[in-house]
Amino acid sequence: MASGTWEEFFAAHLPPPDFEDNRSLLKEFCERHDQYGNRIALVTSGGTTVPLEHNTVRFVDNFSAGTRGSASAEYFLEHGYAVIFMHRQKSLEPFTRHFSGQKLLDMLDIQERGPNTTITVKPDSVDVLAPILLRYKAAHSAGAILHVSFTTVSEYFWLLRAACECLTNLGPRAVLYLAAAVSDFYIPKDRVPTHKMQSASGAPVIQLQLVPKMLAPLVNLWVPEAYVVSFKLETDENLLVPKARAALDKYKHKMVVANLLQTRHHRVILVTPDETQEILLTREEVHAGVDIEASIVLELVRLHAEHLAPCGAPPAAP
Ligand code: PAZ
């Protein structure tokens, strides 16, 4: 089935309730960093949902824990970029990603002496916590990171377009790092029931429609000068590079990071118009907890700097 146009998609879906607040935050952040000639990376992260009911009990989800996006955001900060971290609510976030589950509580000690309670970091956890806490505090006190969140696919697109509108003034100093897993399908609003579907009515037949490809207006209209990197997730090795290259040929952006679901944390392929470069972590690196995102972002920062050199932009200040 053919998809509608991107204009029709925006016309059919109202902006989310917190949209104007987020738009103001994005505007202020981009203007402030633009003033200082900073580079900004917009990192999208996590999966979008497609609600099956307006009062949503059930939804279709796109797989992504937010590992790639949250780790990459930290590395962009390390390279001196300001970061807009646009993420699925409750998915992993920079810095706190290191302490998911019980990890943080396990690092703490508590002593109750009479009315006084003291909480301390266990001595052997200080070395783990301190460097992350220092980087977290530095990023926040410098106003170098802005978090905005989405849940549904339409919320994602409203935020993405707003972020692009704010980033366009930065021209080639803006990097778009589109790691979120975004649904290719949705249910047109008028076919979504208001209330929870009832099993007594029998098995529902749900027909999904194609989401229009937003990369086309993004690259051509919303941020024509930005350094745009998209991601391609596949489960079949044979499709991976051909589909990444096809996307690059079609949308004419700068890079596709191709990865397989099964191996995404230790292998990616960077596909650019000129080359195809594999990044592979060794078994030892994986065991040592090395983030593959450190290498992805390092290479991207190098290529972005090359791209900026003819514009005379000074290097990013780490
Ligand atoms: O968030 P995560 O680390 O679990 O997964 C990252 C990823 C596989 C979602 C990302 O690398 C990616 O490929 N995003 C684009 C997905 C897509 O093709 O829609």
Give 2's pLDDT tier (boundaries 50, 70, 90): low
pLDDT of residue 178: 98
pLDDT of residue 190: 87
ipTM attached to this prediction? 0.99
Q: State the residue for tokens 């749900």.
A: 206
Q: Residue 68 Cα, ligand 1 centroid: separation in angstroms?
A: 7
Spell out the residues 6+ positions from residue 156 whose beta carbon is closer than 8 angstroms to its own. 44, 48, 86, 150, 180, 182
Q: Whose CA is nearest to atom 1 of ligand 1?
A: 66
pLDDT at 313 over 80: no
pLDDT tens digits, one per residue of 87-130? 999 999 999 999 989 999 999 999 998 889 999 999 999 999 99
pLDDT of residue 72: 99
Residue 122 lies inside a defined structural domain of this protein: no
Ligand 1 atom closest to Cα of 63? 9
Q: Provide residues with CB under 6 Å of ligand 1.
A: 64-68, 179, 181-182, 231-233, 259, 264
Mean pLDDT on 283-293: 97
Residue 13 lies inside a defined structural domain of this protein: yes
- The pair of structure tokens assigned to 188 is 């047109």
Residue 124 lies inside a defined structural domain of this protein: no
- The pair of structure tokens assigned to 185 is 């399908």
Q: CATH number for the domain including 43?
A: 3.40.50.10300
Range(s) of the domain holding residue 287: 6-94+136-310
Residue 222 lies inside a defined structural domain of this protein: yes
Residue 273 lies inside a defined structural domain of this protein: yes
3-class DSSP state for residue 225?
coil
Total domain count, the chain: 1
Residue 131 lies inside a defined structural domain of this protein: no
Residue 1 lies inside a defined structural domain of this protein: no
Q: Whose CA is nearest to atom 19 of ligand 1?
A: 181
- The pair of structure tokens assigned to 314 is 């000074």
pLDDT of residue 311: 79
- The pair of structure tokens assigned to 2 is 């053919």
Write down the pTM of the prediction.
0.96
What does R_g of the chain's alpha carbons equal in angstroms? 21
Point out which residues pair with 149 in neighbouring strands. 87
Point out which residues pair with 232 in neighbouring strands. 258
